[in-house]
Amino acid sequence: MTKVEIIVCPKCKGAGNHSRHETTCYHKGEYDVIYSDCTACNNSGLVKMTTVVTYAPHIAGRPDLRQ
């Protein structure tokens, strides 16, 4: 059985991009905010999570003989 869910991107936390502060002038305390695109979700903020569920058969009286 396969289960597909749409979840919030764990890398960008749903923002669609990453931001970082870069100092432009250390003495004045000035900085710029640099934005870069999230490659995990292609800027949508959402990713598809696929889960495959499998079951092992239970042999009555002999749990050590599972296949």
**Over the stretch 4-18, which tens digit does the pLDDT of each residue have?**
999 999 999 999 999
pLDDT bucket at 59, cuts 50 / 70 / 90:
low
Residue linked to tokens 């999570």: 49
Please state the domain extents for the chain: 2-65
Nearest residue to 7 (alpha-carbon basis) of 39, 48, 43, 50: 48
C-alpha 8/C-alpha 34 separation (Å) is: 22
Q: Read off the pTM.
A: 0.59
**Residue 1 in tokens:** 């059985």
Above 80 in pLDDT, residue 58? no
- How much is the mean pLDDT over the chain? 86
